Structure 1
Amino acid sequence: MNLTDFEALSFDCYGTLIDWEAGISAVLEPWAAANGLQMTNEELLIAYGTQEAQAEAEHPAELYPAILARAIRTLGAQLGVPVTDAVAETFSNSVPNWPAFSDSREALIRLSHHYKLIILSNVDRASFARSNERLGVTFAGILTAQDVGSYKPSPRNFEALLAESDRLGVGQGKLLHVAQSLFHDHLPAQAIGLHTVWINRRHDNPGWGATPEPPASVKPDWTFTSMDALADAVESELA
Structure 2
Amino acid sequence: MGLTDYRALLIDCDEVLVDRDSGVWAALQPLLENRPGAPGKDQILTEYNEVVRALYPRFAELGFSGLLCFAHRQLAERLGLKASWEEGMSFARSVASWSLFEDAPGAMLYLRKFYRLLVSVDRDAEDRGQLCERLGIMPDDLLSRASNPLEDRDWLLANDLEPKDILLVSRPGAEPPVAAGLCLICRSHPKHPQPCSADFCINSMADLVAQHQLSLRR
1:21 and 1:45 in contact (8 A); partners too:
yes
Say what the alpha-carbon RMSD is for the aligned residues. 2.3
Counterpart check, 1:66 vs 2:52: no
> CA offsets per residue over residues 216-237 of structure 1, 9 Å max, x none?
x981211111101101111221
Which one of the candidate residues 218, 226, 233 is aligned to 2:204? 226
Which one of the candidate residues 178, 195, 198 is aligned to 2:169? 178
Counterpart check, 1:98 vs 2:84: no
How many residue pairs match? The answer is 214
Distance 1:22 1:44 in 2: 12
2:22 and 2:98 in contact (8 A); partners too:
yes
Deviation at 1:87, TM superposition (A): 1.5
Deviation at 1:203, TM superposition (A): 1.2
TM-score, length basis structure 1 = 0.81
Name the amino acid aligned to 1:20. Answer: R
Deviation at 1:127, TM superposition (A): 2.3
Q: Which moved more, 1:90-99 or 1:80-89?
A: 80-89
Tell me which residue corresponds to 2:16: 16
Deviation at 1:132, TM superposition (A): 2.8
Distance 1:11 1:89 in 2: 27
Q: Rate the CA distance shift 1:157–1:48 in 2: closer, same or farther, 3 A.
A: farther
Tell me which residue corresponds to 2:84: 84
Counterpart check, 1:168 vs 2:159: yes
Q: Rate the CA distance shift 1:59–1:144 in 2: closer, same or farther, 3 A.
A: closer
Distance 1:138 1:89 in 2: 28
In the TM superposition, what are the counterparts of 1:139-158 in structure 2 within 5 Å?
Answer: 141-145=141-145, 148=147, 156=148, 158=150
Q: Is there any run of 5+ residues in structure 1 with no aligned partner, and where?
A: 149-155, 206-216
> CA offsets per residue over residues 181-237 of structure 1, 9 Å max, x none?
42xxx21xx2433211011111149xxxxxxxxxxx981211111101101111221
2:150 and 2:156 in contact (8 A); partners too:
no
1:99 and 1:134 in contact (8 A); partners too:
no
Q: Which moved more, 1:46-55 or 1:24-33?
A: 24-33
Tell me which residue corresponds to 2:123: 123
Q: Which moved more, 1:62-71 or 1:81-90?
A: 81-90
> CA offsets per residue over residues 94-129 of structure 1, 9 Å max, x none?
111000001101101111111111111122333232
Q: Is there any run of 5+ residues in structure 2 with no aligned partner, and where?
A: none
In the TM superposition, what are the counterparts of 1:1-40 in structure 2 within 5 Å?
Answer: 1-40=1-40
Deviation at 1:238, TM superposition (A): 1.2
Which one of the candidate residues 196, 203, 206 is aligned to 2:182? 196
Identity of aligned residues (%): 23
